[in-house]
Amino acid sequence: MSSVADQPLADAVQAASHPYYPRDASLPHYVASQFNMSESLTTLGSAILLIAFISVILISKARTPLSTKDKLIVIWMLVCAGIHIVLEGYFSFNHATLAGKQTVLADLWREYAHSDSRYLTSDPFTVIMEGITAVFDGAFAVVTAYGILADSPIRYSAQLITSLAQLYGDVIYMATNYMEGFKYTNPHPLYFYGYFVFMNLPWIVIPTVLMVDAVKNIYRGMLIAQRATAVKKSS
Amino acid sequence: MSSVADQPLADAVQAASHPYYPRDASLPHYVASQFNMSESLTTLGSAILLIAFISVILISKARTPLSTKDKLIVIWMLVCAGIHIVLEGYFSFNHATLAGKQTVLADLWREYAHSDSRYLTSDPFTVIMEGITAVFDGAFAVVTAYGILADSPIRYSAQLITSLAQLYGDVIYMATNYMEGFKYTNPHPLYFYGYFVFMNLPWIVIPTVLMVDAVKNIYRGMLIAQRATAVKKSS
């Protein structure tokens, strides 16, 4: 009988051994970070700046001169590709052991997980969605940047595919947490607003804008193509 | 003490009160169907045939004569729109009470739920994904059919958006159940293959084919537009 009666106590001790929400989430493999958080964030920031720098070099070598809008989209797509492939790819491969891993990337995920513990518990939806984001969204973000730099007709299809995939994944991701009363999120404003809202909202807003942009441009292009073909047929 | 010790027994009694998997899924509001299943399936089949019939009439009134491929895509998109908006829309609005509702549509969901009990337990991912499918995929399926019938330049964008959204939703849907060892699915071949595999695989295969078709056609159109614009500029 005692083992049954002691279960709530054992649960509470277990819960107290990690800082995540819900407090009773099962994270037996959790080990606190051995790095300084500011070092990890500096590494992430430097990596993003490096990608932006490479983007600027690539933009200067573009096939035709780019508009400011297109320059910004190249930088956005390459930064996205880096985040999708490296950071989210790392999560996809290591989700089962992430809570206890001592690497800079695991450290970043342990920090972000304050805003969503599903990243440390191998939550099925989160693992599948991140796998798709890493491989599919990552690849098409690169194709979009290539399409702009090379002035290729693939550009707007790739922009539409990347943006819709990002939007779809992020909407389900945010909405499932909302539907469960944000139970995976530490309610502290830093974690709720600073991490959960602020780090996800850009992948709702920007993909929506870029989808509309792609649809408009494809519409215009297909209309020109339709007329050009009609002229050819009639002449 | 007795209340704690009796819990497993109470769970077993509860589990026995519905036919779904996992056997211990909590479905306190479950009420068995009062309809004859063959009647419900006849209703569904008739509704799909009616949509196909309406599609054939619309095809005969298309702005330009359609290829066999385009005729099939119109029928596919309008049947999809019907399923998304009516059947999946009904689920989205009534998921919380579906297990006990006595309507033909609830009956169809109770039958399908043998292959996936998440449809009766208000599973957050399933509810959100179905909401998106009903509203977003449903609307864009109609736009695609319209685009083909009216020979509009919106057609391939709409086809790409509809198909990618269908594919993304269905891949996560099937993959999460796979990752959890198909625990939501009755292992009987009728339910596993007949329902879970056979009723979902079309929304993996056909959207993939239609995405490739859309990307190819947009590529061709954008190339023609690019050349037409270049000719105009140089002349």
How many Cβ atoms sit within 10 Å of the Cβ of residue A179?
16
Q: Is residue B77 a contact partner of residue B160, using CB atoms and an 8 Å limit?
A: no
To the nearest whole Å, the CA of A148 is away from the closest chain B CA by: 13
**Cβ-nearest to B222 among A165, A169, A221:** A221
- Span B215-232, average pLDDT: 93
Tokens of B82: 């019907």
Q: Which helix (H) or strand (E) holds A179?
A: helix A155-179
**Which segment of A22-31, A142-151, A206-215 scores lowest on mean pLDDT?**
A22-31
Euclidean distance between CA atoms A26 and A123, whole angstroms: 11
- Residue B1 pLDDT > 50: no
**Cβ-nearest to A179 among B4, B128, B215:** B128
| Single pTM value for the model | 0.91
Identify residue B160 by its one-letter amino acid code: L
Could you tell me where the DSSP H helices lie in B100-185?
104-112, 124-132, 138-149, 155-179
Quick one: pLDDT at residue B16?
56
Q: Is residue A85 a contact partner of residue A138, using CB atoms and an 8 Å limit?
A: yes
Q: Is residue B124 a contact partner of residue A176, using CB atoms and an 8 Å limit?
A: yes
How many Cβ atoms sit within 10 Å of the Cβ of residue A15?
15
List C-alpha distances in Å: B196 to A32, A42, A153, B92: 41, 47, 38, 19
pLDDT above 70 covers a percentage of chain A that reads: 93
A225 contacts in chain B (CB < 8 Å):
220-222, 224-225, 228
CA nearest to B180 within chain A: A124
Q: Is residue A144 a contact partner of residue A155, using CB atoms and an 8 Å limit?
A: yes
A175 contacts in chain B (CB < 8 Å):
124, 128
> Could A125 and B176 be called an inter-chain contact, meaning their C-beta atoms sit closer than 8 Å?
yes
Q: Is residue B155 a contact partner of residue B144, using CB atoms and an 8 Å limit?
A: yes
- Span A155-167, average pLDDT: 98
- Residue B214 pLDDT > 90: yes
DSSP class per residue in A106-149: HHHHHHHTTS-GGGTTT-HHHHHHHHHIIIIIHHHHHHHHHHHH
Per-residue model confidence as pLDDT tens digits over A192-231: 999 999 999 999 999 999 999 999 999 999 999 999 988 7
Per-residue model confidence as pLDDT tens digits over B162-177: 999 999 999 999 999 9
pLDDT band at residue A32 using 50, 70 and 90 as cut-offs: confident
Euclidean distance between CA atoms A211 and A60, whole angstroms: 25
In the block, tokens 């009534």 appear at: B94
The pair phi, psi for residue A90, each rounded to 5°, is -60, -45
A154 contacts in chain B (CB < 8 Å):
215, 219
**Chain A residues interacting with chain B (CB cutoff of 8 angstroms):** 1, 4-5, 124-125, 127-129, 132, 151, 153-157, 160-161, 164-165, 168-169, 171-172, 175-176, 179-180, 211, 214-215, 218-229
Question: Does the bond joining A22 to the residue before it have cis omega, within 30 degrees of 0?
Answer: yes
The pLDDT mean for chain B works out to 91
Quick one: pLDDT at residue A5?
46
**Cβ-nearest to A218 among B129, B171, B218:** B218
- Span B3-25, average pLDDT: 66
- Interhelix angle A155-179/A138-149, nearest 10 degrees: 150
Residue A204 neighbours by CB under 8 Å, 6+ apart: A167, A170, A171, A174
Tokens of A228: 């050009």
> Could A172 and B125 be called an inter-chain contact, meaning their C-beta atoms sit closer than 8 Å?
yes
Q: Which residue has the higher pLDDT, A233 or A27?
A: A27
List C-alpha distances in Å: A55 to A30, A152, B109: 37, 17, 50
- Span B220-227, average pLDDT: 96
**Which segment of A32-46, A117-131, A216-230, B136-150 scores lowest on mean pLDDT?**
A32-46
B222 contacts in chain A (CB < 8 Å):
153, 155-157, 218, 221-222, 225
- Interhelix angle A155-179/B155-179, nearest 10 degrees: 40
Identify residue B60 by its one-letter amino acid code: S
| Residue whose C-alpha is closest to residue A22's, from A180, A153, A221, A223 | A180
Per-residue model confidence as pLDDT tens digits over A56-94: 999 999 999 999 999 999 999 999 999 999 999 999 999
Euclidean distance between CA atoms A156 and A148, whole angstroms: 9
- Span B63-71, average pLDDT: 95
To the nearest whole Å, the CA of A37 is away from the closest chain B CA by: 32
- Residue B201 pLDDT > 60: yes
List b or e across A66-81, with b for residues whose CB sees 16 or more CB atoms inside 10 angstroms. beeebbebbbbbbbbb
Q: Is residue B191 a contact partner of residue B119, using CB atoms and an 8 Å limit?
A: no
